[in-house]
C-alpha cells in the first residue's frame, strides 16, 4: 500500500503504514473522481464525482450509486453513519443504517467501518495484533470534546484488554496553512488537550492557523498511541483530488474505510 493515488477503475488512496500495520488489516479512502455525481459534487470538471455524502443535497440516486461503487472496493457494505460532530462511538457490527455517531469500532472480520470527510480529519485506528479497528470523524468539535479517547476506550472494552496497543493513520484534511480558526477553537482544545496552544499559529488579524494533525497526535499520545502515520495531503489546496467544505461550501464527501480481513 502506498500513500498516493492509483486508478485502474476508481481512484483511491491507501495509508502508507505497512511497516506498522497488522497483515490482516486493510484500509482505503475514496477520492473525488470515479463516480457519477456532477456539478459541485463532481470532479474538478464538474462530472464523474465520487460523492458518498447523503446529506449534502446531491441527487439521491447518484449518492446511492457512488456508495454501491464504494462497496465494491471492500468485503461488505460499509456501515454508513449520520455524522453530527459529536463523540458517540458505535459498534459497527450492530450499527443501524445512518445511525448518529462520529466513529465506529469493529472486532469482526469483514465488517467495514467508515467515516465521511471533506476537510475534517479522518483517523483510522488498528489494534497492533489486528483484533480491532476503528474509523473516526475528527472535526474540530469532536476532537476537542474527546472522540479519540472515547474510541480507544471502546476498543479496549470490546477486546476486554486494557493493555491493548494501537496504531493510527491521520488521513487527508484541511492543512496547517489552510485551516483558519478563531479563539473559540483554541479555548475548546485547551480544555481537553494539554499543550494544545502549540498547534496554533497566531495571525495579524487575531485569527489562528490550526493543525488538526498535531492536535490529534497529542490526543493519541496521551492515550499511549505513538505509532502514527500522517498523510501528506491538504484537502483545501488540492481540488483535483479532494472535496473541501471550507474551499467550496457546497461539495461532496469522501469515504474513509477500514476493516479486518476475512480468512
pLDDT digit string, tens, across residues 56-93 = 999 999 999 999 999 999 999 999 999 999 999 999 99
Rounded-to-integer distance, Cα 256 and Cα 67, Å: 12
Coil, strand, or helix at residue 57? Answer: coil
pLDDT at res. 9 = 55
- The full set of domains in the chain, from first to last, is 5-174+224-260 (3.60.140.10)
Q: Where are the alpha helices (DSSP H) in the chain?
A: 60-71, 140-145, 147-159, 183-192, 212-221, 245-248
Cβ atoms 93, 113 nearer than 8 A: no
User: pLDDT by residue (tens digit) across 121-157?
Assistant: 999 999 999 999 999 999 999 999 999 999 999 999 9
C-beta separation of 193 from 222 below 8 A: yes
pLDDT computed for residue 3 by the predictor: 47
- Give the position of cell 472535496: 243
What is the per-residue pLDDT for 6? Answer: 42
Q: Which residues of the chain have pLDDT under 50?
A: 1-8
Cell numbers of 136, please? Answer: 473516526
The neighbour count for residue 183, using CB atoms within 10 Å, is 11
Amino acid at each position: 500500500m502506498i500513500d498516493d493515488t492509483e486508478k485502474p477503475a476508481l481512484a483511491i488512496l491507501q495509508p502508507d503504514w505497512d511497516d506498522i500495520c497488522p497483515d490482516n488489516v486493510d484500509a482505503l479512502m475514496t477520492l473525488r473522481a470515479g463516480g457519477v455525481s456532477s456539478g459541485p459534487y463532481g470532479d474538478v470538471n464538474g462530472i464523474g464525482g465520487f460523492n458518498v455524502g447523503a446529506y449534502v443535497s446531491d441527487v439521491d440516486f447518484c449518492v446511492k450509486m457512488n456508495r454501491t461503487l464504494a462497496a465494491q472496493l471492500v468485503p461488505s457494505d460499509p456501515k454508513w453513519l449520520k455524522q453530527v460532530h459529536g463523540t458517540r462511538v458505535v459498534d459497527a457490527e450492530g450499527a443501524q443504517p445512518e445511525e448518529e455517531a462520529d466513529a465506529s469500532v469493529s472486532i469482526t472480520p469483514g465488517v467495514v467501518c467508515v467515516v465521511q470527510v471533506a476537510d475534517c480529519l479522518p483517523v483510522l485506528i488498528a489494534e497492533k495484533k489486528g483484533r480491532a479497528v476503528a474509523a473516526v470523524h475528527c472535526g474540530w468539535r469532536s476532537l476537542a470534546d474527546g472522540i479519540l479517547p472515547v474510541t480507544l476506550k471502546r476498543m479496549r472494552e470490546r477486546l476486554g484488554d486494557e493493555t491493548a496497543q494501537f496504531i493510527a493513520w491521520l488521513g487527508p484534511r484541511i492543512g496547517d496553512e489552510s485551516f483558519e480558526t478563531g479563539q473559540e477553537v483554541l479555548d475548546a482544545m485547551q480544555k481537553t488537550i494539554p499543550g494544545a496552544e502549540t498547534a496554533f499559529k497566531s495571525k495579524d488579524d487575531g485569527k489562528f492557523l490550526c493543525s488538526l494533525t498535531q492536535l490529534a497526535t497529542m490526543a493519541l499520545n496521551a492515550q499511549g498511541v505513538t505509532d502514527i502515520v500522517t498523510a501528506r495531503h491538504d484537502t483545501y489546496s488540492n481540488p483535483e483530488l479532494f472535496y473541501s467544505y471550507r474551499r467550496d461550501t457546497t461539495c461532496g464527501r469522501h469515504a474513509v474505510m477500514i476493516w479486518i480481513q476475512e480468512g
